[in-house]
Amino acid sequence: MSNRTAVITGAASGMGEAIARHLVKQGDRVALLARRTDRLGELAEELGDRALPVTADVTSRESVDNAVRQVHDAFGPVDLVVNSAGVMLPNPIDDGREDEWVRMIDTNVTGALRVIGAFGADLVEAAAAGRTADLVNISSIGAHVTFPNYAVYGATKAALTHLSASLRSEYGPRDVRVTNIEPGLTDTELGGHIDNDGLQGQLGQMVDAIGALSADEIADLVGYVTSRPRHVNLRQIVILPTRQA
């Protein structure tokens, strides 16, 4: 039993949900953050008293501050933070979808930063007390590979990847690990918010042709990296379906 206390954003579905299940199975407490209260409630019910549902919107400072209070009241300080909340809203740049650009930047980059800012002190404190402390950011292979119409999404993930690398220089000397995970195609709800039928279809065709990882496979990886001895930091991991170039 690893007995850690984790905060997982994006826990209402996909990777975040799978990571929550995985961590509870190995004996951790998990605070489940996302906006859909009903989904979090169902998951918390399934996972039992080691799970705390916390309705939170990472694009709102006030909401994240409220989440911190709820997590601390229920569990005390945390020693593992997983930033999995994210949105992927591709469209041609010529469409000028400022609404989508703002949403992606505010969720995928500033949202992750808000969460890091909110729980970073907990991680530093845990490490100073001799415990293992982890920040895990779910970036994307899109941080490195360019796809037409995914420019802004890719840019947010490149920013998160760079942020993760840079944060190691601030957290590493204080024994807080930072792990950046860059998945390829993974079977989740992520593509469900695409409002361009052509691009929605293209994503489906890619999955049919290449196959996809499961959210459980990402969760298994998170379980692995966060269970190494605390001086071992797998700082950057690309995980792809074997057929994805």
**Contacting residues toward ligand NDP, per CB under 6 A:** 9-10, 12-16, 34-36, 39, 56-59, 84-88, 107, 111, 138, 140, 183, 185-186, 188-190, 215
SS3 86: coil
How near is the Cβ of 174 to ligand NDP at its closest, in Å?
Answer: 26
Distance, CA of 191 to CA of 208 (rounded, Å): 14
How near is the Cβ of 87 to ligand NDP at its closest, in Å?
Answer: 5
Residue 127 or 194 having the CB closest to ligand NDP? 194
- Phi, psi for residue 184 in degrees, rounded to 5: -95, -155
Tokens standing for residue 24: 């509870």
How near is the Cβ of 11 to ligand NDP at its closest, in Å?
Answer: 6
Residues 88, 92, 93, 97, Cα dihedral to 10°: -60
Residue 89 or 123 having the CB closest to ligand NDP? 89
Distance, CA of 27 to CA of 133 (rounded, Å): 16
Residue 189 or 232 having the CB closest to ligand NDP? 189
Distance, CA of 88 to CA of 121 (rounded, Å): 29
SS3 180: strand
Tokens standing for residue 71: 């997590």
How near is the Cβ of 236 to ligand NDP at its closest, in Å?
Answer: 14
Active site residue 153: yes
Catalytically annotated residues:
153
